[in-house]
Chains A and B, each alone.
Chain A
Amino acid sequence: MIKSKAFVDTTILTNRLIKFGKEKKEAKDALSVYEITELPVYAIKEFKAGPLDYVKYLYNKLVETGSVADTTIALSRIGRLVNRQQTAIRTLGELMKKANSLSVNSSLRMKYGQLAEKENISYDSIKYEAKMLLYKAWKKRNSITTKVVQPLSCYQQSPPYEEKNGQLSLKPNKCETDNCCLTEKLKEKRFNVTKLKVTIDKLPIALKTKPENVKRQKILREINVSLT
């Protein structure tokens, strides 16, 4: 174990809590190397508003469509996927529908009816998994590092909850005020803002264009403009 301190950012938090396989293992191993690991509350805020929101969105989409295949097709239609990607995902959704209608465990089907239908099994299974993943990630957020640091006076860590229509909500996922208390702190350290901007600019293209970095750049630009 390295006797030093690591400052954990949102990516590590995300990989540790809601990613799978290699990414999850790497994050877990990386955290175990350090004696002290510190997680700032802004990373939790970012995690809740970003990556955890995908899980919530997926769960709610499943609740809305009532089917894994329809959810897959619906997801393929959102955004601006290129035609080939859209077609591939839609075909996958259709194949799932067909496969589900064909294979049924006959003895369980006899005893449990629709509960044993393959489509219902995969639907409930994925729905439970998504909900479990979301609640589990929220529960574990404070325990994956040795310390949670830099509390934000403008942000409350409210747990996820289920709305009356069965959909999950992560609200509030923003600060209670228009400007996060961190903005003022960053303004006081203008040099750091520029340094952060330059660091992201120098990243390899694959990292630079990652959604979180694009958003970071945009915010840093705005802070810079407000300072001039």
Chain B
Amino acid sequence: MLITDNETANYSEVKGSIHLLKSVDSEIQTGSNAKQTSKSNYRIGINTARMPFVFGHDFKSWSIEDDLSDNKDTLKSEAKDIPTGEKLTNKDNSVKTIRNLYFQDEFITPELRTGIQLLETSQKYITKSLESIRHGKRKESDEFIMQFKAFLPELFCCRTISESFGAVVNAIQNALSNMKGCPLSEKQIVALHEIITGLLREPAMSFEKAVDYVSEFEDADFEVESAGLEGLLKLTEMIDEVETELIND
């Protein structure tokens, strides 16, 4: 659990994340204070895509060995791709690096890692779908969307990343389900691409921001609410109707 590795990383690859590193710097302690750190519960958001981050982990109860044992090698090989460069030094002179911070297993929730991977793959399918429709290949375009749709249930399982993440994925799922199999228009595919890119950029965005994304997405002729919610709301309204009957009586 200690952050003691003295490898370094280049910030040019992760510009937008420096503020996060600084904020983490003040919270993560090394050496003799590590025990205290391991009991901490972090919740830090970032504005940069592709960067796994410290997220709501209770280190006491979460065992990386259990959760990530089969993926450790992949993560380490990914880490090797990061060029070296500037160092970050702690108050007690122990060195922390971007590689430590982002690619140490402890700091990546399994859901976040899967979520990012699925979003990246989704983005590729949507891009292909967009290219196809722009070339007049509507069937091919629809096939790519169908392939993308297959990722949505698992993406929703990654909703522990953030409430906003869950809410946005849910809105996409409802929107596509409400299409009842009809192929998406170019405008709709563009909107889908936008929202997936937004989610990839900020998986833990504020709920207000998620509302902005969903509102824009909805403007591309999508219905983002389900029949289930409609039914429950009608049931809720019935209470008021009953109360009104009592007033009339």
Chain A interface residues (CB < 8 Å from chain B): 18, 20-21, 50, 54-55, 57-58, 61, 68, 71-72, 75-76, 78-81, 85, 89, 105, 108, 111-112, 115-116, 121-122, 124-126, 128-133, 135-136, 139-140, 209, 211, 214-215, 218
Contact = CB atoms under 8 A, between A and B. Distances in A.
Q: Main SS of the interface on chain A?
A: helix
Interface stretch (B35-43, B94-102, B137-145, B159-167): B159-167
A79 B244 contact: no
A49 to B, nearest CB: 11
B235 A125 contact: no
B153 A108 contact: yes
7 residue pairs, one from A and one from B, having the closest CB atoms: A79-B242, A128-B167, A112-B157, A211-B244, A79-B239, A54-B236, A135-B211
Interface string B237-249: 1111111111110
A133 B229 contact: yes
A211 B240 contact: yes
Contact of A139 (B157, B173, B211): B211
Contacts of A125: 156, 170, 173, 226, 228
B174 interface: yes
21 contacts: A57-B236, A58-B236, A75-B232, A112-B111, A112-B157, A116-B157, A124-B156, A124-B170, A125-B156, A125-B170, A125-B173, A125-B228, A128-B163, A129-B167, A129-B170, A129-B224, A130-B229, A131-B207, A132-B224, A139-B212, A214-B248
Contacts of B245: 80
A126 B243 contact: no
Contacts, number: 121
A80 to B, nearest CB: 5
Contacts of B223: 20-21
B118 to A, nearest CB: 12
Nearest to B227: A20
Given A57-B236, A122-B228, A132 B247 contact: no
Interface in B107-156: 111, 153-154, 156
B174 A129 contact: yes
A136 B211 CA distance: 6
